[in-house]
Amino acid sequence: MDSIHDLGGKQGFGPVTVTEDEPAFPEAWEGRAYGLVQSVGDPGSTIDWFRHIVELMPPAAYLTEPYFQKWQYVQIIELIQAGKLSMDEVLSGQASKPGDPASKRSLEKVLAIIHDKNHSFERKIDAGPAFVLNQWVRTKRHMTEGHTRLPAYARDSLGDVIAHHGSHALPDAGARGEDVGEHLYTVRFTAAELWGDEANPNDDVTLDLWESYLVPA
């Protein structure tokens, strides 16, 4: 969807605030927010629906909310939609009905959970790939109300396939709760193709793109 999240190439943000080294969670609330999102969610959700909820935030909120507050929006919305929390509870902080204390997870258990999140997104399908290495392809306009992973800056652009990764779960479908496999490629675009005359001729940009985003050039 054409929301403000699709930032590639947007101008006017000014310089990057550079840090060389910083703690994992510079502010204490960030660690709490991260841990909460990892601990309490909707097991029926998908990574794509999670990302799409972030994209559905009002633009002003998207640009001003810190990273883990965006995650917290998703967490709250998923829990409300799953019927596990109410908006009244979220805004008042008052539980409608107290529950039995949750069991504690140890550091070792948490480290094991992180290790087990080594998910593969590969999905075996019968269809062979439509494109081969070094083939020229063009991205579609591919404009949709829903979730997609073709950024606006790379629409209707000419590139060449530099890798084929087999078939992976298609995010456009995942955000609707559907598990659909589709061939995935890394496509290289020259900087000049994307950005015009100002680009350095030695530079390029690669994107990982699903087959339905592409047509033969």
Partner 1 sequence: MATFDREDAAKLARHLHSHLPSDPALRTKTLESLLVERGFVAPETIDAWVEAYSEHIGPKRGAQVVARSWVDPAFRARLMDDATAAIAEFGFDGDATGHLKAVENTDTQHHLIVCTLCSCYPFSLLGMSPAWYKSAAYRARAVREPRQVLSEFGVDLPETVGVRVWDSTAELRYLVVPQRPANTDGWDEARLAALVTRNAMIGTARHLKTEAA
Cβ closer to partner 1: 135 or 176? Answer: 176
Interface residue with partner 1, options 131, 139, 157, 209 (CB under 8 A): 209
Structure tokens at 78: 């998923």
CB of 189 to partner 1, least distance (A): 10
Indicate the residue among 177 and 217 with the shorter CB distance to partner 1: 177
Q: Is 87 in the site for partner 1 (CB under 8 A)?
A: yes
- CA-to-CA dists, residue 23 to 16, 31, 45, angstroms: 18, 10, 30
* Residues of span 8-67 touching partner 1 by CB under 8 A: 8-11, 13-29, 31-36, 38-40, 42, 44-47, 49, 51-54, 56-58, 60-61, 63, 65-67
> Minimum distance between the CB of residue 69 and partner 1, rounded to whole angstroms?
5
- Rounded to a whole number of angstroms, the minimum distance from the CB of residue 206 to partner 1 is 5
Rg of the Cα trace of the chain? 21
Alpha carbons 26 and 18: distance in angstroms, whole number: 14
Site for partner 1 in 121-140 (CB under 8 A): 121-122
Minimum CB distance to partner 1 smaller for 103 or for 126 = 103
